[in-house]
Amino acid sequence: MPHHDHLSMPAARARPAADPSAGPGPVPRAAARRPQAFTDSREMVALAVQLANAPPGNTPAEAAVTVGWPRLREVATPADLPLLHQAGRQLREVFAHVGARRDREAVHVLNRLLARHRLRPAIAGTVPTDRHLHVAAPGATPAAEHVAAAVWALAVFLCEQGIDRFKTCTEPGCGIVFLDETTNRRRRFCSPRCATRAHVRAHRSRRRTVTR
């Protein structure tokens, strides 16, 4: 798979950005099988973007691997495949609508996702240091918990940061979606690689024009 630089952390934030193409590090199987807690909104936003960019896999492991999310790979089952495929397709629709300046439709798709996952946020944990938020309804599968938390986090990001940060790479033939976290909100490419290709192509075009 190509390298996807989906998210960039503004310099003003104290917390450094992790490499989004690598995903979070592996976790013990016992921990991974617990329902996903909504404890890191940025991590869940990254998962939403990766779900939108993931091609469909034929098995749960393939679907999770294409997302690049080890925790999801640990918990996905054959029964989760339709959920993963549909979530990825609808999340990509959100970015497509924004790119076509159909903001109202983008919000409608995201609202449908929120309704589909029947979010019921609840605080869990018995001691102050262990309190965290679960967003999926009781009884949801661990994979559904991951997807629900990702959808919730992306909806919060939209409301707090603005829908104009939802972007699709403008490099021809790429199509990767990402969230533009630059200060001026003018980022056009998903990665330095795509930006370099576009700049080289523009440079060669200018040179051909001069030499004619």
Is the confidence at residue 39, as pLDDT, over 60? no
Q: Identify the residue whose tokens are 């990702």.
A: 150
Burial track 157-185 (b if 16+ CB lie within 10 A, e otherwise): bbeeeebebbbbbebeebebbbbbbeeee
For residue 22, tell me if it sits in a domain.
no
> What is the CATH classification number for the domain harbouring 102?
1.10.3300.10
User: Which of the residue ranges 26-35, 88-97, 112-121 has the most confident prediction, judged by mean pLDDT?
Assistant: 88-97
Instruction: Return the bridge partners of 179, or none.
Output: 166
For residue 10, tell me if it sits in a domain.
no
Give residue 156's domain range. Answer: 29-164
For residue 115, tell me if it sits in a domain.
yes
Task: Give the Å distances, CA to CA, from 91 to 94, 112, 154, 208.
Answer: 5, 10, 9, 41
- Tell me the mean pLDDT in the region 16-41: 45
Instruction: Return the bridge partners of 124, or none.
Output: 132
Q: What is the pLDDT of residue 137?
A: 79
For residue 190, tell me if it sits in a domain.
no
- Tell me the mean pLDDT in the region 116-137: 81
| Digit-coded pLDDT (tens) for 130-176 | 777 778 878 888 889 889 999 999 999 999 999 999 999 999 999 99
- Tell me the mean pLDDT in the region 195-204: 80
- Tell me the mean pLDDT in the region 68-94: 87
Count: domains in the chain:
1
DSSP per-residue string spanning 73-111: HHH--GGGHHHHHHHHHHHHHHHHHHHTT-HHHHHHHHH
Neighbouring C-beta atoms of residue 141, cutoff 10 Å = 16
For residue 184, tell me if it sits in a domain.
no
Is the confidence at residue 21, as pLDDT, over 60? no
Burial class (CB in 10 A: 0-12, 13-18, 19+), 118: middle
- pTM (whole model) above 0.85: no
- 3 sits in the region (left: phi over 0; alpha: psi -120 to 50; else beta) called beta
For residue 119, tell me if it sits in a domain.
yes
Q: What is the pLDDT of residue 184?
A: 95
Neighbouring C-beta atoms of residue 138, cutoff 10 Å = 9
For residue 187, tell me if it sits in a domain.
no
